[in-house]
Structure 1
Amino acid sequence: MSKEHEVRRVGIVGYGHLGQYLVQRILKEGSLHHLELAFVWNRHLEKMEGTVPEHLQLQDLSEFDKRQADLVVEVAHPSIIRDHGTAFLSSANFMVGSPTALADHPTEKKLREASSQSGKTLYIPSGALWGGEDIQKMADRGTLKALKITMTKHPDSFKLEGALVERNEAARTKRLILYEGAVRRLCPLAPNNVNTMAAASMAAHTLGFDGVVGVLIADPSLPDWHLVDIEVTGPTNEQSGNTFTVKTSRQNPARPNSVTGTATFDSFWSSLLMCSGHGGRVYLC
């Protein structure tokens, strides 16, 4: 069997809506893509009863390496990345579904080092980020000057921490800007909601979490939509004085109260299929 057709064993960490979606697609379509499940882990094992074969249920996450996964996919919580990320990278490629964890500088540094040392890839899925590869190319060339991402959702679609909780309550009757500033400070306040901003901060590596601007807006008139607006600023032409800019607006249908928009599920599946053969580095997929 040629290397590109070798079966890749995938471990899924987390069994919420996104984890369930990925598990069921692998169970149904894995053979078409040369994938098979190595294990599924969830903090509450009973959630997997009846849908995940018992022999695939992993009870102790610290024993993941016994399942010999080629790729570990985290779709659980940023704390998983902080606590287990370097261990995952010691023996498998690792796709980070909660890149807000990387806003913690020591965590990002440890995972980059672990990837380089093991030769395994730290994959960052694009999720709801539109144009991430173009942003990364501009950063690579040194032409990315500014990046601003505005995410707008219904107040019930947010899972917030700290001061943003009370501010979000005030948005029940009117559109309200919850936060505007560096993405690094926002990630711990909205760890489940701003993974798109975190992925953009990794792609825009010359700006990073401190240089990328995030704007979080609660809008009670949007019960079943997630909006993502991206503004990219490039270099200014010395002769004309004109500045390179790109603006995109993504309207992602979403179930009421849902953290993740509908189209993001398919995006994650496409990212998973790309996770092979990129070596010891960080790779946007």
Structure 2
Amino acid sequence: MPIPKRVGIVGYGHLGQFLEAAISKREDLEVAFIWNRSPGALSHLDQRLVCHDLTDFASFSPDLVVEVAHPDVSKQYGALFLKEADYLVGSPTALADAELEASLRTVAQSGTRGLYLPAGALWGSMDLRKMADLGTLQGLKITMKKHPSSFKLKSPLKELNDGVSGSAVTLYDGPVRGLCPLAPNNVNTMAAAAVAAHNLGFDGVNGCLISDPALTDRHIVLVEAEGKGGFRVCTERVNPAAVGAVTGNATYNSFLSSVVAAGAMGPGVHLC
């Protein structure tokens, strides 16, 4: 039987708890450590698995570190993680910071470990990556529609969303780079799209955020890609989700699949 991949989980919210439970049922994965900004949430766990200081993460010998906490984790610890383990960025909105993206790419491409981004709710991510590699991707727009309570936003989008009632309201429509800092918890799919569509990047990929009170049981993600010679593909992904849920139900299992796949592609930046 192969040696299981040791996974360090950074963040113990809904997704972190899901990963811990799912990993414990698998033979190909095992939990190396768990860290959380509020240590009290980890009091019920085997304390041998609790990492109190992320600068000490390497002592737990992880093969893969998975961030499911906050974009700031990548800013503070991303390069450190990549020196010792493969790194799966669960909050890729962090990479809208051009300086951070460049520095993590450099570390990932020059070392022995890989930087991984989960495809998540981005349907067709590998096709977009192939088109970007060939230089045939000429336009990409990602539209996300959710119930107002499913958004965690910063000003001025927060105030705009707070006033939504009745009909749907477009909160933002423009470059993904400008949107990521305003909705860091909600537009990871768009950030993944900007990395997949690397010939367009965060400035060339368009993001549209729509707050719709009618969406009480689902999130909707529209992907519109344009290529040479009039080529065009449009997809609509309907993800069941309760009112107030930031992450749709199907995204949890998709993320687990990314955890399983991460680490197999060597140095560089990869979607999985």
State how 1:37-116 maps to structure 2 within 5 Å: 37-50=31-44, 52-116=45-109
Q: What TM-score, normalized by structure 1, do the two folds share?
A: 0.94
Looking at structure 1, the residues matched to 163 and 139 of structure 2 have their Cα atoms a distance apart, in angstroms, of: 30
Secondary structure of 1:83's match? Answer: helix
How much has 1:49 moved relative to structure 2? Answer: 2.5
How much has 1:256 moved relative to structure 2? Answer: 1.6
Corresponding position of 2:225: 232
Looking at structure 1, the residues matched to 82 and 23 of structure 2 have their Cα atoms a distance apart, in angstroms, of: 22
How much has 1:106 moved relative to structure 2? Answer: 0.6
Question: Is residue 2:12 matched to residue 1:6?
Answer: no
Corresponding position of 2:111: 118
Secondary structure of 1:28's match? Answer: coil
Looking at structure 2, the residues matched to 99 and 276 of structure 1 have their Cα atoms a distance apart, in angstroms, of: 17
Corresponding position of 1:23: 20
Sequence identity of aligned pairs in percent? 53
| Bigger shift: residues 200-209 or 170-179 | 170-179
Question: Is residue 2:267 matched to residue 1:280?
Answer: yes
| Bigger shift: residues 112-121 or 258-267 | 112-121
Corresponding position of 1:239: none
Looking at structure 2, the residues matched to 144 and 18 of structure 1 have their Cα atoms a distance apart, in angstroms, of: 32
Secondary structure of 2:235's match? Answer: strand
Aligned-residue RMSD, C-alpha: 0.9
Q: What TM-score, normalized by structure 2, do the two folds share?
A: 0.98
Aligned counterpart for 2:250 among listed residues 243, 250, 263? 263
State how 1:205-244 maps to structure 2 within 5 Å: 205-236=198-229, 243-244=230-231
Give the residue type in structure 1 aligned to 2:41: K
Count of residue pairs brought into register by the alignment: 272
Runs (4 or more) in structure 1 with deviation over 6 Å come to none
Residues 91, 118 of structure 1: 8 Å contact kept: no
**Gapped runs of 5+ residues in structure 1?**
237-242
Residues 103, 198 of structure 1: 8 Å contact kept: yes
**Gapped runs of 5+ residues in structure 2?**
none
Secondary structure of 1:268's match? Answer: helix
Residues 175, 220 of structure 1: 8 Å contact kept: yes
Larger radius of gyration: 1
